[in-house]
Amino acid sequence: MSDPHRHDRHHRHPRHDEPTPSHGRWHRLAHRLTPHSHESADKLDPALESSARGLRALWVSLAVLGATAMAQAAVVAASGSVALLGDTVHNASDALTAVPLGVAFVLGRRAATRRFTYGYGRAEDLAGVVIVLTIAASAVLAAWTAVDRLFDPRPVAHLPAVAVAALAGFAGNEWVARYRIRVGREIGSAALVADGLHARTDGFTSLAVLLSAGGAALGWRLADPVVGLAITAAITLVLRDAAREVFRRLMDAVDPALVDRAERVLGEVPGVRGVGELRLRWIGHRLRAEVALVVDGEVTVRRAHRIAVEAEHALLHAVPRLTAALVHADPAPTPGETDPHLALAHHAGA
């Protein structure tokens, strides 16, 4: 939630009720009656900062996973472990998923254009789809390798080194997973959360290598494929969670608690008699709102405008990661008159 004092310092608006030489009376009246949204540095700065945090999380995790993969590759060359080779490939692929997501974060910082009027934030959601597909490919590869090993078991040399490399792979992936998921949830990036879940699947793969090495040390040749099948099941569960989160974001789903909070805050704004249509949507890791308020039909246009501005400010302070709100004020219907928004809703339902 933004600091109210900071908001006051950076969110200064010109007085809309003051006449200006370039605005005639009818132009000012039209401005009062149209929906509006005040874009300012106070809203854009946190959004840019969240993109910077996302990029920082990607590059840090890329460095950690890259170092882990190189260390494992050295052990693969010495031991000839196919299981560890597969884990190394998984870690390398997980590190490389930072590339499309990083490109999406950079694109999301570009200004809106007349063609892309909402900006490029959707690129982040498309990157989430790529990550989900990568997790699915990892599950298929793990299952294929496990079945192949089940019918053709192979001995593994230098088991202690393989076990240490597997532990390093698990530690690196789990650290990266926690870091990505935490930052992704803080900035509202479903794609970054999905990428963190992907790193966690590779951590499971590393544990599979460790368990298979332990089983091989005990003389159980089928340890590797059996554990591989169990890890495939775990990857499938993670895939389900990641796919569900990315799908919901693509379908403009939001947490109902955010809608409840927005309605409660709007209802507490002086002059608001009711909250009509309220919509929230994610664009990348930023929220936008569209709301229709009901105000007293006898108030002046200038007073209705002030109520709308106060409602917008209240939303920006109350809803995390909300960067823009389009607020429209409707007069309360007189006795015998039908609310146009209710009429439209009834007509759409019919």
pLDDT, tens digit, 9 for 90 and up, residues 27-64: 443 334 344 444 433 334 455 566 778 888 888 888 88
Tell me: pLDDT of 13 over 60. Answer: no
Tell me: pLDDT of 20 over 60. Answer: no
Q: Which residue has the higher pLDDT, 259 or 91?
A: 259
Tell me: pLDDT of 280 over 90. Answer: yes
Counting beta carbons within 10 angstroms of the beta carbon of residue 22, is it exposed (0 to 12), middle (13 to 18) or buried (19 or more)?
Answer: exposed
Counting beta carbons within 10 angstroms of the beta carbon of residue 160, is it exposed (0 to 12), middle (13 to 18) or buried (19 or more)?
Answer: exposed
Domain extent listing, the chain: 42-250, 254-349
pTM for the whole thing? 0.66
Q: Which of 336, 274, 327, 279 has its CA nearest to residue 305?
A: 327
Q: Assign domain 42-250 to its CATH architecture.
A: Up-down Bundle (1.20)
Cα separation, 87 vs 73, whole angstroms: 10
**CB environment 216-227: b (16+ within 10 A), e (fewer):** beeeeeebbbbb
* Mean pLDDT score, 130-139: 82
Helices (H), 37-189: 41-79, 82-96, 98-108, 122-151, 159-187
Task: List, in order, residues 6 or more apart from 317 with CB less than 8 Å away.
Answer: 1, 2, 4, 7
The Cβ of residue 187 has, within 10 Å, a number of other Cβ atoms equal to 24
pLDDT, tens digit, 9 for 90 and up, residues 108-128: 878 889 999 888 888 888 888
14-28, 106-120, 299-313, range with the lowest pLDDT: 14-28
Residue 119, helix vs strand vs coil: coil
Range with the largest mean pLDDT of 39-43, 150-154, 160-164: 160-164
Residues 164/42, Cβ–Cβ less than 8 Å: no
Token pair 């007509």 in the structure block, residue = 347
DSSP string for residues in 250-270: HTT---HHHHHHHHHHHHTST
Residues 71/172, Cβ–Cβ less than 8 Å: no
How much is the pLDDT for 61?
84
Arithmetic mean of pLDDT over the chain: 76
Strand order in the sheet with 272-283: 272-283, 286-295, 322-331
Q: Which of 246, 168, 225 has its CA nearest to residue 202?
A: 168
Q: Assign domain 254-349 to its CATH architecture.
A: 2-Layer Sandwich (3.30)
* Mean pLDDT score, 241-245: 86
Give me the amino acid identity at 26. Answer: W
Half-sphere exposure of 179 toward its Cβ, with a 13 Å CA cutoff? 20
Q: Please tell me what DSSP assigns to residue 36.
A: B
Tell me: pLDDT of 326 over 80. Answer: yes
- pLDDT above 70 covers a percentage of the chain that reads 77
Residues 163/213, Cβ–Cβ less than 8 Å: yes
Residues 71/165, Cβ–Cβ less than 8 Å: yes
How much is the pLDDT for 33?
37
How much is the pLDDT for 217?
76
Task: List, in order, residues 6 or more apart from 127 with CB less than 8 Å away.
Answer: 100, 101, 103, 104, 191
* Mean pLDDT score, 82-88: 72
How much is the pLDDT for 341?
52
How much is the pLDDT for 155?
66
* Mean pLDDT score, 12-38: 40
25-29, 217-221, 317-321, 334-338, range with the lowest pLDDT: 25-29
Cα–Cα–Cα angle for 27, 341, 322, rounded to 5 degrees: 75
DSSP string for residues in 276-312: EEEEEEEETTEEEEEEEEEE-TTS-HHHHHHHHHHHH
Residue 42, sorted as left (phi over 0), alpha (psi -120 to 50) or beta, turns out to be alpha
Q: Which residue has the higher pLDDT, 56 or 146?
A: 56
